Structure 1
């Protein structure tokens, strides 16, 4: 991969970390095996050296229909030829809002942005304004909510964030209603909102989301669902549509634009109007971005929603994920590593775990596994599927996984994955030191 290696050096000289997203960093991949992408189409991407990969987790889960989906591209192209940004709202803003609210009928109003961090932080700001309370309670078991200080200050990468800011964010574990009740009692009258992904790699326990709704109402705080991942992958209306629990506010992104930059803050009218012009209270600077309503991104989002509803995309994602998970588990079982190479999560949002000989999560064994996948033409930081995958792609992936599991078994038997790493191990995104 000489061209990718040269491009990585070029990136590091110009861009801190060599990428604009930490999860895309070179440190997340085996040494000298971090491809720099030339282009993608459907479920495949090509690197600068001409290598083709079956890709998973496309665009950090944002490209759920596949790269360069023709209906999405055509919708965006049509608007680009008509102008992308004006000094007053485009009529497309009303059309996109109507389309979104028809897809997510649990919300009354919506405001669009460009990334998930902005809309989730806007939800926090709105909750503080509405309740007059300073504290934010987040689900501490979930990895990411925003690049902004109220969240990043709680991670190992908290450098540059005042402690006074971080102290206003408290956390609770997923699935434990008693812990949430205890937290709200401890900070009675101080918590503005509960922020969480409504579901993740495990299904919500029976009554959990309903219980959060009751606790939020009882304590006068807002319930905020981060639907960045669950939006469209769980159902077109997100996890709230699947599980039937309505939050006060929710945030969407990723799959909404199939790679185009668009996100959404949605919620109850009486709350969202605090950021508008038709109320008599204090004004809230809810969300105001120059590029938040670019016409081509909104057109792409509307096309995505149309494809999902007309083609049954969510069901297709689940079916592909189920086939992939079954194949990977069979391959791991055949190699005798079924208790060390694990597939977890909802079928439309699969991840894998790599455990060492003692059953502990291991970055070294993850490195070994990723190296073998990449060498076999599978780019898979996760096993999150797109609708563009076909049977041949899934079969090829399972074959490559089988080969990787055979090497995994050898490393376990040797008690040391070192000879198979090919260099330094991959690293977690959130860490305090380089």
Structure 2
């Protein structure tokens, strides 16, 4: 099959139906059809393991499954069996279920740097709860966000800082200030400028984590990491940030939505040995089932509880936050990671894939233009033009060729369901894509290979 022969008539019709009823045509902007080449946005029928099938009957190897949430592969037997056991027992009650006790105990055993945990359904609720808790504990209004990390929450305190800030009052946005990843001096300057005003510093503890599917990494790594760092912070950075937060009296929050489990079962904090005051987990925690977590120090977390004498904080109170089957899924995921060394599997698969892609790109003469970066368990790629600048047009060309080869890859984030044969097939498809990439570079114009408009960034002011 080649890109010219790939037709998705049923998916195209389904996309029109989606747009007619759902703003953006998807319930997550990163899944929108604007993130894919025109008329080549497959609508999924089902998935199993590392493969998904679209409604047109095409099968794809899938990367970045469920926006990085399905790290064990679709319909993983240990997870689905744990869910099935709970389905006939009821999913939601007027009082806590014993499953909530078991899930909390399992989580705190997996992430021993945390003392208490509260579950929710999505990452935004957890990060916003962390911010609210930090503001309550410090009595300060401002939120310090890491400028180099692309997403923290759908809520106003973060979305107001993006190009999609419509509907967010300027007064709210003014309370959010930014610091650069890896630059302790700049962060200290920020904390000094807003002395006694910054409630918290929130960041993903590693770099190269979660660019939106159509964003582009810069060809040179930002401050605080080396070209070969794989997303790891430079030695001493996180410890230095911990010291700054302590000295300036603000709360340190690690957003571990992506680094949780993919870096280690205990997250990046477990790998790097720096303990935040609060941390948030999600994505891989449920292997596709809706569950997230806010965890942290007892004295902070208990402010949202009943066993303290201070002013109460409305921390997290969600009707579906403790659905029994989602918590069962989370426990099964944690057990599988521990017993089957899943994190090590993800790294081994990612290393094999990264090496193969780099070798294929170099062999086709585009090694400086198709750039693979990130920790092996969380690979992203950038497509650079003839001037080595990030290019949405070259990304479109590349995605078209991958889709034609049966590879659905908004990123190269692996799941443990992939096998060596899957990686080899992906590399073969990448090599074919790179041959076309080279032709476009030689012509200094990828337009003839696009067959439509280029893909677009998620965060943009106009539709």
Instruction: Report SS of the residue matched to 2:361.
Output: helix
CA distance in 2 between partners of 1:303 and 1:203 (Å):
28
Is 1:348–2:344 an aligned residue pair? Answer: no
Find the aligned partners of 1:13 and 1:220 in 2 and give their Cα distance: 49
Q: 2:237 aligns with which of 203, 208, 217?
A: 208
2:422 is equivalent to residue 393 of structure 1: yes
Deviations 1:375-414 (A, max 9, x none): 1000000000000000111011000000000000000000
Tell me by how many angstroms 1:37 deviates. 0.1
1:185 to 177, 187, 192: 192
Write the distance in 1 (CA, Å) between the matches of 2:291 and 2:91: 13
Match of 2:108 among 101, 125, 128: 101
Tell me, yes or no, if structure 1 residue 16 matches structure 2 residue 45. Answer: no
1:255 aligns with 2:280: no
**Which residue of the other structure, out of 324, 328, 342, is the alignment partner of 1:313?**
342
Look up the match of 1:243.
Answer: 272
Distance in structure 1 (CA, Å) of the matches to 2:424 and 2:87: 38
Q: Secondary structure at the match of 2:279?
A: strand
* 2:63 counterpart residue number: 56
1:110 aligns with 2:117: yes
SS in 2 for 1:330: helix
- Among 274, 278, 302, the alignment partner of 2:331 is 302
Corresponding residue for residue 38 of structure 1 = 45
Q: Secondary structure at the residue paired with 1:306? A: helix
Match of 1:323 in 2: 352
Match of 2:206 in 1: 199
- SS of corresponding position for 2:233: coil
Match of 2:161 in 1: 154
> How far apart are 1:200 and its partner, in Å?
2.2
Q: For 2:404 and 2:127, how far apart are their aligned partners in 1? A: 38
Q: Aligned partners of 1:234, 1:59: CA distance in 2, in Å? A: 18
Matched residue, 1:417: 446
TM-score of the superposition, structure 2-length normalised?
0.94
C-alpha separation between the residues in 2 aligned to 1:72 and 1:405?
37
Residue 256 of structure 2 is matched in structure 1 by 227
* Structure 2 residue ranges without an equivalent (≥5): 1-7, 209-230
Q: Is 1:175 aligned to 2:182, yes or no?
A: yes
Query: 2: distance between equivalents of 1:17 and 1:138?
Result: 27
- Verify: 1:339 aligned to 2:339, yes or no: no
Taking structure 1 as the reference length, what is the TM-score of the superposition? 1.00
How many matched pairs? 434
Tell me, in whole angstroms, the C-alpha distance in 1 between the residues paired with 2:302 and 2:443.
63
CA deviation map 1:337-386 (0-9, x unaligned): 00000100000000000000001000000000000000100000000000
Match of 2:321 in 1: 292
User: Structure 1 unaligned runs (5+)?
Assistant: none
* SS of aligned partner of 1:54: strand
The structural deviation recorded for 1:122 is 0.1
Kindly indicate whether residue 384 of structure 2 is the aligned counterpart of residue 377 of structure 1. Answer: no
> SS at 1:251's partner residue?
strand
Greater mean deviation of Cα atoms: 202-211 or 150-159: 202-211
Structure 1 residue 330 displacement after superposition: 0.4
